[in-house]
Amino acid sequence: MFAWHSPVFHPVPLVLAAGVLAWYHEATARFASQASRRQRFQFILGVLAFLVATTWPIADLAQSVSLLITILQRELLVLAAAPLLLLGLPTMVVARLTHPAPLDWIACRISKPVPALFTTTLLLGVTALPISIDSANHHWILRAAIVLITLFAGIVLWLPVIERVPGVPHLSPYGKAGYLMAQSLAPTFLSFAWIFALRPLYGSLHGQHALIGISPLSDQQLSGYLSKLGTFGVLWAVAFWLFANAPDEEPEDNGPLHWIDVERAIERAQRDERKNGHRHDDTVADS
């Protein structure tokens, strides 16, 4: 039972954050993948945003008390931790992470606007359903899984804008702005149900009036407004900045070409050639 006078220590997020920071230090120690001072600062801020979202009191209130705090937790993960972590990662680090063919196949596809929009909408929608929230209230493994899935959904959301996967065509500033506007609409569709529902939909959340001073129904309605306004506020602000700073004339190419992009494109072409060669050999053998 949550109590303001009894803070709860959460060691798992702290251990995870320490491990991620240790990995980041090792991954950016090489000359080719060194991070700038700004990138290091952004990555540390992303880890801190993750810790704020997953420790007391936000994690405890989100677990069993308030849908409003649950949405605040999700906003911190999707709109703060995810983009800051991506901004702090040098492209060469992401290139090493996605070098295995299966990971490269996934990263290449979810870095494109339509798959990213579909993936984000699906993951954020499923993890916000009453059955998901209620189940997470009783099983810590499900609770941890939902947090990590939400963070992953945030990373997918920002991948077409914060370009880190090598060998993927870049969007223009106008394309990025339009994509962010679409992302501000689709993943928040459940907020309409929270705003207009006539009764609380999340039976496992209780104690709102005693702990945060509002009724369960008001808590649910405010969650819908926070989901909409928070997402709109951040994504539309970035979209407006992209519009304001876009060049007057659209460049003919997709931006500067780096060797890592060429290298990754060659690797993909070689994999496709080998795959097609195996298929051709199998066809000849069958005939």
Write the DSSP assignment of 65-127 as a string of letters. Answer: T-HHHHHHHHHIIIIIIHHHHHHHS-HHHHHHHT-SHHHHHHHHHHTSHHHHHHHHHHHHHHH
Extract long-range pairs of 144-149: CB within 8 Å, 24+ residues apart. 144/12, 147/53, 147/54, 147/73, 147/77, 149/123
Angle, helices 101-110/259-286, rounded to nearest 10 degrees: 110
> Helix (H, G, I), strand (E, B), or coil: what is residue 264?
helix
pLDDT of residue 275: 79
> Cβ distance 40 to 87 under 8 Å?
no
User: What sign results for the dihedral spanned by CA atoms 208, 209, 210, 212?
Assistant: positive
Which two three-digit tokens encode residue 147?
């947090």
269 vs 266: CA distance, rounded Å: 5
Per-residue tens of pLDDT for the chain, all 287 residues = 788 888 999 999 999 999 999 999 999 988 778 899 999 999 999 999 999 999 999 999 999 999 999 999 999 999 999 999 999 999 999 999 998 999 999 999 999 999 999 999 999 999 999 999 999 988 999 999 999 999 999 999 999 999 999 988 889 999 999 999 999 988 888 999 999 999 999 999 999 999 999 999 999 999 999 999 999 999 999 999 999 988 876 655 555 567 788 888 888 888 888 877 666 555 555 55
Alpha-carbon distance 274 to 67, whole Å? 50
Nearest alpha-carbon partner for 225 in 72, 45, 87, 58: 72
pLDDT at 188: 85
Q: CA-CA distances (angstroms) from residue 156 to 113, 168, 177?
A: 10, 14, 16
Q: Give one DSSP letter per residue of 123-180, joined into a string.
A: HHHHHTSHHHHHHHHH-HHHHHHHHHHHHHHHHHHHTTTS--STT-PPPPHHHHHHHH
Rounded Cα–Cα distance for residues 287 and 63 (Å): 60
- Cα(241)–Cα(72) distance, integer angstroms: 24
Q: What is the structure's pLDDT at 160? A: 97
Predicted local confidence at residue 283, as pLDDT? 58
